[in-house]
Amino acid sequence: MKRHLMDVYKSETKRVVNRFLRRQLSFANCIASLDAALARLILRLRSKDLDALRAVMLANNERVMKEMERRAAAK
C-alpha cells in the first residue's frame, strides 16, 4: 500500500475523533464514520500494512473510549 493511503486514513480518522471530542459528532456517528473510513481503505490494504493500521485503530479507539469514560464520570 502506498504511504499516501495510510496518511489519508490517519488524517480522516483524526478529524473524526476530534469532532467527537468537540461534541460535534455523537458516539454512534463517530464509530460509523471510523468504520466508513476503514471500509474505504480496506479494499486497497496489503497484509504488510496491517500493523500500521492496527496501531491507528487502537489509538483512535483509546481516545474515544477515554472520552466516553470522562463523560460518564461527569454525570
3-class secondary structure for 11-71?
HHHHHHHHHHHCCCCCHHHHHHHHHHHHHHHHCCCCHHHHHHHHHHHHHHHHHHHHHHHHH
Q: Is residue 12 within 8 Å of residue 37, measured between CB atoms?
A: yes
List pLDDT tens digits, range 10-56. Answer: 999 999 999 999 999 999 999 999 999 999 999 888 888 899 999 99
Task: Decide if pLDDT at 3 tops 70.
Answer: no
CB distance 10 to 56 below 8 Å: yes
Q: Answer yes or no: is pLDDT of 1 > 70.
A: no
- Looking at the chain, how many residues does it have? 75
- What's the grid cell of residue 70? 470522562
